[in-house]
Each structure stands twice: as C-alpha cells, then as structure tokens.
Amino acid sequence: MSEGQIDEGLRAELQRQGVWVTSMQELYNWGRKNSIWPLQFGLACCAIEMIATAASRYDIARFGGEVFRPSPRQADLMIVAGTVTKKMAPQIVRLYNQMPDPKYVISMGACAISGGPFKQGYNVLKGIDRYIPVDVYIPGCPPRPEALLHAFMELQRKIDSQKLSGADKAEHLDPEQPSEFPVPNFGHHDLEPPANPEVYQPPKLERV
C-alpha cells in the first residue's frame, strides 16, 4: 500500500462508526471526474448520437457531463465526434491547444479513430490521434449513446486513478509534458506535417 492510500477494510470499519476518511487526491479526483465539461462541437453523424446522449433519454447529466461549453477556455473534454477532414484538422488542434489543462480527448467513431469509410480518400484525416493525444477511443459508425456513456465512464475511471504527486503523477501536473501541440499547415498536396511524430507512433508492421 502506497503513501496516501487508506486500507479499504479500515475505511469501511470507520465508516460504520460514523467517521468518513478520505485523502486530498481522492477528493480532488472525485470532484474532477463528476464535472467533466465537454466542448460543444460536432463534425458529422456522430454528433447526432452525442446530442442524443446529452438529451433526456440517455442523459449524460447523470455522470456530470451535461454542461457543453461553447468556448474551449471552459472545457475539460473534447469529444471528436465525426469525420475530421484535412481542412478541419488544424482548427481541431487549435481548439485543443486553447483548452486549459487538465484536458481529455474522446475519439468517437470510426472516422475520428482512423478515417473510417473515408480512410483512402484524399480529403479525410486518418485519425485525429495523428496530431493530438487521445484518451478513449470508441469504435462504431456511429457509436450508440450507450457506447459514448461507456467511454465517458472509462474516462472517469482514468481521472479517478490519476496521481497528484510522485513520479507517476498525472501528465497535466508535470511541467515537462507538453499541453499544446503544433498546428499543421495547409500544404500543396497534404497537411504539413502529415502527422506529429511526438504523438503518433504507429506500430511497425513486419510483413512481406
């Protein structure tokens, strides 16, 4: 058991006696994970599912994510919902750069992950993870609202497990870690650079 953590048995015993014990880290993460404000923008049909998730039937408010912010300065989470065209990609990266730390990205749907059905096209970016780091990927075309809620809960689990101190502390607390990434330029034939090698390291395929 590391420093700053409480034995679960002891905590349960204390709770039974009317004493609630917690740590700064748990309290802090509990607050953060239950009020994740997404950035309000959608790119394609995935955005319709995102809207359905925010509406009453699926109700993302149950998880504290109902406050869609129209400004990146007030947002914690970027849901990349839909096809990212190459013409749109610099704006997405710019919006990401304008978000304050800590910030998270959900790559929603086949297009945002890899380009999806438009992968071999000349105009669609083959995955937003070429330029910005992605926390949760949801496959689907488009993913159902349940899948987006699942991704949201996964993100909450990730936030809950982030450390505030120590060598393995959360990235946004480490001044060495970049929080902004270079915006690609419009080139003569493609975006320049076509991917940010600091963020995007695809596996090497050893085939003939």
Partner 1 sequence: METLEQIKNRAELAARGAKIDIVVNPGPSQQSSLLIDHEHAVAVAQFLRDHPALTFDFCSNVTGVDWLDRTVKKTTKVKQVVDGVEKGVDQTSEETIPGYLEAVYHLYSMKLKHGPLIIRMRTMNRTDGAKLPSLTPVWRSAELQEREIYDLYGIQFDGHPDLRRILMWDEFVDHPMRKDYTPPDDFEWEPTPHDDVLERAKKHYAPRPQLDGAEQITAQPQ
Q: Which residues bind partner 1 (CB under 8 A)?
A: 86-87, 120-123, 126, 186-190, 194-195, 202-208
CB of 61 to partner 1, least distance (A): 37
Beta carbon nearer to partner 1, 102 or 121: 121
Helix (H) or strand (E) holding 79: strand 77-81
Beta carbon nearer to partner 1, 15 or 91: 91
Residue found by looking up tokens 């910005």 in the block:
132
Beta carbon nearer to partner 1, 4 or 187: 187
CB of 126 to partner 1, least distance (A): 6
The Cα diameter of the chain in Å comes to 70
Return the structure tokens found at 59.
């109700």
Beta carbon nearer to partner 1, 176 or 206: 206
Starting at the earlier edge strand, list the strands of the sheet with 136-138: 77-81, 104-108, 136-138
CB of 90 to partner 1, least distance (A): 9
CB of 53 to partner 1, least distance (A): 28
CB of 87 to partner 1, least distance (A): 5
Beta carbon nearer to partner 1, 38 or 133: 133
Which residue stretches of the chain are H helix?
A: 8-16, 24-33, 45-54, 89-98, 109-114, 145-160
Terminal-residue alpha carbon distance, the chain: 48
Contacts of 163 by beta carbon, 8 Å cutoff, 6+ apart: 25, 169, 170
